[in-house]
Amino acid sequence: MSDYELFIGNKNYSSWSFRPWIALRHKDIPFRETLVPFDFENGNPEFAAFSPSRKVPVLKDGTLTVWDSLAILEYVADCFPDKGLWPKDKAKRAWARSISAEMHSGFTALRSECSMNMQRPVAAKAVSDAVKGEVNRIVTVWKECLASSGGPFLFGDFTIADAMYAPVVSRFETYQLSNDPVVSKYSEAMKATEAWKVWEEAALKETWVVDSE
């Protein structure tokens, strides 16, 4: 049994918190959730009490502290090798790690111009060429993965790669960034999960407001 406590930010906005949360929930890995909202311009001073980086998410496992979404997911994968958080095949696992790392370190234009906001009315937004290029790259990643695996998730079953791209599913829908059929099909699979539904329901009920377009 794990003794996990996952510290997260606002569910409506915190894309980085969403990543480990949806993976833990979808894989039936028990954890306690502690939500500390970032309703300050630079986060929340209370983050310092539990987060070395003063950011969320943070995972506590007893006396151990793990921070950063991808580091948390890697740690959980080590602790629960039977949960299939990475593909079993070595080559596919390397592929899944590559696209997860690409999401972790890249797509800065998309993050900047189209922040996750589940409460925002669905409507197209004029975006830069940089965002359009990043959207095309993500669609290509999804097409290649789904063509190889057959779906419904990027590597067949839900893996860390899907957790890393989950907030993008929300962004694509909110800002109407792509009408590619692959995007619709993959988005439907993600949004049909019980974990997605629980997170979204809570996000839509939040009353904290962070200014965004």
- Say how far apart CA 128 and CA 118 lie, in whole Å: 21
Q: Is the pTM of this model over 0.85?
A: yes
pLDDT (0 to 100) of residue 213: 54
Q: For 120-159, how does the pLDDT look when each residue is reduced to its tens digit (9 = 90+)?
A: 999 999 999 999 999 999 999 999 999 999 999 999 999 9
Query: Is 17 within 8 Å of 68 (Cβ atoms)?
Result: no
Omega of the bond leading into 57 within 30 degrees of 0 (cis): yes
What's the maximum distance between 2 C-alpha atoms anywhere in the chain?
Answer: 48
Three-state secondary structure call for residue 153: strand
Interstrand relation of 58-61 and 64-67 (parallel, antiparallel or unpaired): antiparallel
Q: For 17-64, how does the pLDDT look when each residue is reduced to its tens digit (9 = 90+)?
A: 999 999 999 999 999 999 998 876 666 788 888 888 888 999 999 999
Structure tokens belonging to residue 73: 């997911």
